[in-house]
Amino acid sequence: MKAEMKEPLLEHINIKDEDCKFHKESNRKGLLKVVFLSTFVAVLGSYEFGSCMGYSAPVQAAITKDLDLSVAEFSVFGSILNVGSMIGAITSGRIADFVGRKGAMRISCAFSITGWIAIYFSKGALLLDVGRVLSGYGIGIFAYVVPIYVAEIAPKDLRGGLATLNQLMIVIGGSVAFLAGTALTWRLLALTGIIPCLIQLVGLIFIPESPRWLAKAGHQKQFYDALRRLYGDDDNVSHEAAEIQDYMQTLEHQPKASMLDLFQRKYMQSVIVGVGLMMFQQFGGVNGVGFYASETFTSAGFSSGKIGIIAFACVMIPITAVGAFLVDNCGRKPLLLVSSVGTFFGCFLAGMSFLLKEHNLFQEWIPLFVLCGTLIFMGSFSIGMGAVPWVLMSEIFPINVKGAAGSLVNLVHWFGAWAVSYTFNFLMDWSPSGTFFLYSGVCAASVLFVSTLSKKATSRSSKVGLQFPVDCITRFVKVGKYVDWVGAGALVYLIAVLEYLAAKVQFLFFL
């Protein structure tokens, strides 16, 4: 009898529990819509970044012809984007802290729109370059504020997945610019760059500001309002608020580090990894190949660069998506090593193809070989060297030096991007084969560098380890002991490339 009396009561409690669980799940789904909408609006800045980076590739011939630009003038136009981005990257932290994440994105949109309009109305090199610098400044801020905003609003269980959208949208923006550039004039293509900025400006009205910035700025009411929009019920809000407040207190008690503090012995290994990866990422030639892909394919023998541009666009998006999935499933070092080997092989194949062309061998196959080489290069870059160094930057530096380290790494990144994009056309005029062999040598050096990284250096831990300290040159000599066969092969190839380039410029070179 007692059991019969208890049974309905137990069933009633279960129904309540089920209803409560259902309402929580429904509430979470509703709240996630706000998170997804906010992320989508933010990564439109990443799309704009890709549009700016991909603009010069399909329009090089048209702009050069219409405005009667020399090789040097178009090289300035292509590369000066990185100068603007460098300035934007240097000032982005202060801007985002002063006016907030949404305010920084609005400023980025304003500069980008102004830059595109200047390019559209340009009649000569001067206004063209001014517009390019303004657009570069805008994307320099976007490059900093978009991933920061997404990381600060996303729940922990979704943070990694949503963060990968940043790199994916950059590639989508570049690919769309590549494809649109094959059908539109260069002036109309410039106007398409305004569209994501306009959509973002409208979208920013409807999304919350970053709760972390609101807490840091002392806007307590707006802080709790933003948390309720993003996380819903009071339990989640209280938990997130406590976590953010603890983080802010930790930051306040940490000593502020300057750029010079990074060169202390305790940070040196982290700096070597961060700066080294950024140098190899950029000096491997990615911006040269990407910025001037159309003329590279024309030099290889294509009647038009459009075929290669379309192939570029079709390959980049799926490969980047695969790389975003693999980064947390295969580990950082394996991806970096596979990517470095792939970029080396792609550059080597393109260089050998141009060398065969110089000697009038296999002429009918040269365009296909160059296309395959550049696609292998860009695809391999997207899998690892494109995104993984940025992931590592957030993991290997202690919290008290992250700001200074981020500035240093960004400076190296944009300087390398400018140097490669400016010199690429001059190098191609000197020797197409020599250009790609030079880049393949840098990629071989990156294989050597990555192969010497210890697992600690490429793990998700903030502790960094290298199999070699600052005196790495001494250890490189002892190939058999410290470097595996992949690194040893890369070292041998690097020496061969140096000899080839020395012979190419007619200097005596002895090892």
Confidence of residue 497 (pLDDT cuts 50, 70, 90): low
> pLDDT grade, residue 373 (50/70/90)?
very high
pLDDT, residue 499, reads 62
Beta bridge pairs of residue 453? 466
Decide if pLDDT at 113 tops 90: yes
218 in the Ramachandran plot: left (φ > 0), alpha (ψ -120 to 50) or beta? left
What local confidence, expressed as pLDDT, does residue 94 receive?
A: 83
Nearest to 173 by CA among 203, 148, 209, 143: 143
Distance CA 493, CA 444 (A): 7
44-56 per-position pLDDT tens digit: 999 999 999 999 8
Which of the two residues, 307 and 65, has the higher pLDDT score?
65
Residues 402 and 148: beta-carbon distance below 8 Å: no
Give the per-residue pLDDT at 21: 47
Q: Cα angle at 197 between 192 and 202, to 5 degrees?
A: 125
Average pLDDT over residues 268-294: 89
Give the mean pLDDT of 93-118. Answer: 93
What distance, in Å, lies between the first and last C-alpha atoms of the chain?
A: 97
Q: Read off the amino acid at residue 361.
A: L
Mean predicted confidence (pLDDT) in 284-299: 87
pLDDT in tens, 325-334: 776 667 778 8
Task: Look at 10 and 114; give whichever has higher pLDDT.
Answer: 114
491 and 483 Cβ atoms separated by less than 8 Å: yes
Q: Which residue has the higher pLDDT, 27 or 57?
A: 57
- Which range among 316-330, 414-428, 495-509 has the greatest average pLDDT? 414-428
The predicted pLDDT at position 351 comes to 93
Residue 350 above 90 pLDDT?
yes
In this predicted model, which residue has the larger pLDDT, 246 or 494? 246
Predicted confidence band of residue 304 (pLDDT cuts 50, 70, 90): confident
What is the rounded average pLDDT of the residues 142-147? 88
Q: Which of 86-95, 254-263, 390-399, 478-487 has the lowest mean pLDDT?
A: 478-487
Higher pLDDT, 492 or 456: 492
Q: What band does 57 get if pLDDT is binned at 50, 70 and 90?
A: confident
pLDDT of residue 488: 62
Print the SS3 string covering 28-77.
Answer: HHHHHHHHHHHHHHHHHHHHHHHHHHHCHHHHHHHHHHHCCCCHHHHHHH
Give CA–CA dist 174/196, Å, rounded: 13
**H or E element in which residue 408 lies:** helix 402-430
298 Cα distance to chain centroid: 27
- Cα(49)–Cα(52) distance, rounded to whole angstroms? 5
Of residues 507 and 93, more confidence is placed in: 93
What's the confidence (pLDDT) of residue 301?
84
DSSP secondary structure letter of residue 17: H
Mean of pLDDT values over 281-310: 85
State residue 423's pLDDT score: 92
When mean pLDDT is compared over 313-327, 377-391, 487-501, the highest value belongs to 377-391
- Lookup: tokens for 125: 């090199």
The reported pLDDT for the residue numbered 508 is 39
pLDDT tier for residue 233 given thresholds of 50, 70 and 90? low
% of the chain exceeding 90 in pLDDT: 33
pLDDT digits (tens, 9 = 90+) for 399-452: 677 777 777 888 888 899 999 999 998 999 888 999 999 999 999 999 888 888
Q: Looking at the whole model, is its pTM more than 0.75? A: yes
Ramachandran class of 324: left when φ > 0, alpha when ψ lies in -120 to 50, beta otherwise: alpha
Model confidence at 227: pLDDT above 50: yes
Q: pLDDT higher for 4 or 101?
A: 101
d(CA 199, CA 148): 20
CA dist., res. 180 & res. 47, Å (int) = 14
Strand partners, 466: 453
pLDDT of 509 above 50: no
pLDDT at 198: 97
pLDDT of 139 reads 93
Region 471-494: what's the mean pLDDT? 49
CA 317 to chain centre: 14
In this predicted structure, what is the pLDDT of residue 96? 87
